[in-house]
Structure 1
Amino acid sequence: MRLVVCTVGRLRAGPERMLVDDYVTRFNRTARPLGLGPLTEHEVEDRKGGGMAAEAELLSRALPANAVIVALDERGQTLTSPEFAQRLTAFRDEGRQDLAFLIGGADGIAPALRDRADLMISFGRMVWPHMLVRVMLSEQIYRAATILSGSPYHRA
């Protein structure tokens, strides 16, 4: 199952970009034998200032056809890392070919697009900068692969 992170905004060179790249590389190396990957990113930018609706349109166009949609939203479920890994496994085992993670802009994801999500997850009720959300998401995706591969998980 291919994974793509669809996000509003560009992640420029810097420590966050280095961390995301490192976790994506680790995931792609670890997850292939599990039937997961590759993990890619698709960045969109609303240059015309159309707000959430325009961002939702750009994100919708970035979604692979028939992809499982996982939206990152403060109203979403908080999952443990093993629960997150189990969700990825369940989607894969259902025969889904693509899974897309959505990270909206400063105002979040437009309700109409958010309502299309198969799953909404949250990294807590606090507001996080989008660049850090991308780092945390890529780390959790990599962590899920290590859990599924049988690597020791320090919380188990």
Structure 2
Amino acid sequence: MRVHICAVGRLRSGPEKSLIDDYLQRFDRTGRALGLGPARLVEVEDKKNAGMAAEADLLRKSLPKGAVICTLDERGKLLSSPAWAKRLADWRDTGRQDLALIIGGADGIDPSLRAEADFSLSFGKMVWPHMLVRVMLSEQIYRAATILAGSPYHRT
């Protein structure tokens, strides 16, 4: 199952980009034997600053046809890392070819796009900078692969 992190905004060179690249590379290596990956970051940019609805349209265009749609949203479901790993494995095991993980812009994800999601994941009630959410999400998909592989990376 291919993983697409679809995000509003462009990530410039710096520590966040380095971390994301590292975790996605690790995920690709670990996930390959598990039927997970590759992972890629798809960035969209609302250059006209037309708002959340315009961002939602750009995000929709970036989604692979038939993908599982998972939004990152403070109103989403809180999961432990093992529960997240199980969720990924379940989607993979039902034959889904693509997973689109959606990160909105500064104002969040348009309600119409949130309503189209198959699942919504939360990293807590706090609001996180959307660039930092990319890092956290990249680490969690890598962690999920290590959990499914039985690696000691995740310890409880």
Q: Structure 1 length normalisation: TM-score?
A: 0.98
Number of equivalenced pairs: 155
Is the counterpart of residue 127 in structure 1 residue 127 in structure 2?
Answer: yes
1:101 is matched with 101
Instruction: Specify the alignment match of 1:39 in structure 2.
Output: 39
1:58 alignment counterpart: 58
Identity %: 66
Q: CA deviation at 1:36?
A: 0.5
* Pairs within 5 Å for 1:70-89: 70-89=70-89
Once the two structures are TM-superposed, the CA of residue 49 in structure 1 deviates from its matched residue by: 1.1
Give, in whole Å, the separation in 2 of the partners of 1:154 and 1:24: 20
Q: Which 4+ residue blocks in structure 1 deviate beyond 6 angstroms? A: none
Please state if 1:112 is matched with 2:112. Answer: yes
RMSD between aligned residues: 0.5
Q: CA deviation at 1:4?
A: 0.3
1:79 partner letter: L
- TM-score, normalised on structure 2? 0.98
- Counterpart of 1:145 in structure 2 is 145
Structure 2: 5+ residue runs without aligned partners? none
| Matched residue SS, 1:121 | strand
Which blocks of at least 5 consecutive residues in structure 1 are unaligned? none
